[in-house]
A and B are shown apart, each in its own frame.
Chain A
Amino acid sequence: SQQGEEDPQALSIQEGENATMNCSYKTSINNLQWYRQNSGRGLVHLILIRSNEREKHSGRLRVTLDTSKKSSSLLITASRAADTASYFCATAPSGNTPLVFGKGTRLSVIA
């Protein structure tokens, strides 16, 4: 089964609003990463947060990590139509195992 599960599955907001997506996972991790995918294209790495970090910022992105609850959230502030995409969280479990991706949140930003 998928390690990460994003919530909600789909989100529709107006341009200028904030968008929040959540990710829950099951096992201990070294880090958690967020990716964006525009329709039918490759994924683009957005941000990586390590297990000993609680919050990280990159431009309009803010990511939090709560290892006690095994959850993370991605906040996109002042969203734009160009932010319309699917967003995936990926966990890097401890040990010699590959990244595991969730099924993603489809974000639609309406102009």
Chain B
Amino acid sequence: KAGVTQTPRYLIKTRGQQVTLSCSPISGHRSVSWYQQTPGQGLQFLFEYFSETQRNKGNFPGRFSGRQFSNSRSEMNVSTLELGDSALYLCASSEQQGHEQYFGPGTRLTVT
């Protein structure tokens, strides 16, 4: 099976702009989770989707949003970008919540 793919891999944006990141899970996986990873805060959970429904949301402001489509592909959106949003954004898919997760290579977002 093909692994988890994320696009784009690298992104440079300016403060105040908005960005959309995409994730395609492993075929058959219905759970998709998003994480933000920074050197200071480590790996922080953003949200989890299962069968197009958001099941859990981390402690992030409303500028961070996401959705999942009927084919399990997921997108996350960050509006009004801030310098502190610079991070590696990781997507992971799994068959069920709590099972092993398979991660994509990540999207490196730099906000200037």
Binding site for B on A (CB under 8 A): 2, 30-31, 33, 35, 40-45, 48, 88, 90, 92, 96-104
**Interface membership of chain B positions 94-112, coded 1 if the CB is closer than 8 angstroms to chain A and 0 otherwise:** 0001111111111010000
Stretch in B14-22, B40-48, B65-73 with 4+ CB within 8 Å of A: B40-48
6 more A-B contacts (CB under 8 A) besides A42-B106, A101-B42?
A: A30-B98, A40-B108, A42-B90, A45-B103, A98-B45, A98-B55
Q: With A and B bound together, what is the CA distance between A45 and B100 in angstroms? A: 7
How far apart are B31's CB and chain A's nearest CB, in angstroms? 9
The reply to whether A99 and B33 contact each other, CB–CB distance below 8 Å, is yes
Chain A facing B: main interface SS: strand
Rounded to whole angstroms, the CA-CA distance of A88 and B98 in the bound complex is: 15
Q: Is the interface of B mostly helix, strand, loop or mixed?
A: strand
A44/B101 in contact, CB under 8 A: no
Partner pick for A42 among B4, B42, B100, CB 8 A cutoff:
B4
For this complex, 26 residue pairs linking A to B, each with C-beta atoms less than 8 Å apart, are A30-B98, A33-B100, A33-B101, A35-B103, A40-B106, A40-B108, A42-B4, A42-B92, A42-B104, A43-B90, A43-B101, A44-B103, A45-B100, A45-B103, A90-B101, A96-B56, A96-B97, A97-B56, A98-B48, A99-B33, A99-B45, A99-B101, A100-B45, A101-B35, A103-B43, A104-B42
- Nearest Cβ distance between residue A32 and chain B, in whole angstroms? 11
| A65 CB, min distance to chain B CBs, angstroms | 15
**A104 contact set on B, CB distance < 8 A:** 42-43
Partner of A101 from the list B43, B56, B105 (CB cut-off 8 Å) is B43
Q: How many A-B residue pairs have CB under 8 A?
A: 59
User: Could you say which residues of chain A place their CB within 8 Å of the CB of B4?
Assistant: 42
Q: Which residues of B contact A40 (CB under 8 A)?
A: 88, 106, 108
Write the nearest CB–CB distance from A13 to chain B, whole angstroms. 23
A2 to chain B, nearest CB (A): 7
Whole-angstrom distance from the CB of A37 to the nearest CB of chain B?
A: 8
Q: Is the CB of A96 within 8 A of B105?
A: no
Determine the residue in chain A with the shortest Cβ distance to B108.
A40
